[in-house]
Amino acid sequence: MLKKIPLPITGVALGFAALGNLLQSYSEGVRLVCGAISAVLLILYIAKMICYTDSFKEDMKNPIMASVFCTSTMALMLLAGYLKPFIGMVADGIWYVAIVLHVVLILYFTKAFILKLDMKKVFASYYIVYVGIVVASVSAPAFSATGLGTGLFWFGFVALIVLLVLVTYRYAKFREVPPPAQPLFCIYTAPTSLCLAGYIQSVQSKSVAMIAFLAILATVLYIVVLTQLPKYLKMPFFPSYAAFTFPFVISAIAMKQTMACLANMGTPMPWLNIVVVIETIIAVVLCIYALVRYLMFITAKQA
SS3 233: helix
Q: What distance in Å separates the CA atoms of residue 31 and residue 210, rounded to the nearest whole number?
A: 30
Q: What distance in Å separates the CA atoms of residue 128 and residue 142, rounded to the nearest whole number?
A: 22
- In this prediction, residue 301 has a pLDDT band, given cuts at 50, 70 and 90, of low
Burial class of residue 294 (count of CB atoms within 10 Å of its CB; 0-12, 13-18, 19+): buried
Question: Nearest Cα to 208, choosing from 221, 198, 199?
Answer: 199
User: What is the model's pTM?
Assistant: 0.96
Residue 1 has pLDDT above 80, yes or no: no
Residue 302 has pLDDT above 60, yes or no: no
Residue 116 has pLDDT above 60, yes or no: yes
pLDDT at position 3 is 86
Q: What distance in Å separates the CA atoms of residue 18 and residue 196, rounded to the nearest whole number?
A: 15
Q: What distance in Å separates the CA atoms of residue 52 and residue 99, rounded to the nearest whole number?
A: 25
What is the overall mean pLDDT for the chain?
96
The residue-averaged pLDDT of 256-279 equals 94
Q: What is the pLDDT of residues 45-100, one digit of tens each?
A: 999 999 999 999 999 999 999 999 999 999 999 999 999 999 999 999 999 999 99
pLDDT at position 303 is 44
Taking every pair of C-alpha atoms in the chain, what is the biggest distance, in angstroms?
A: 58
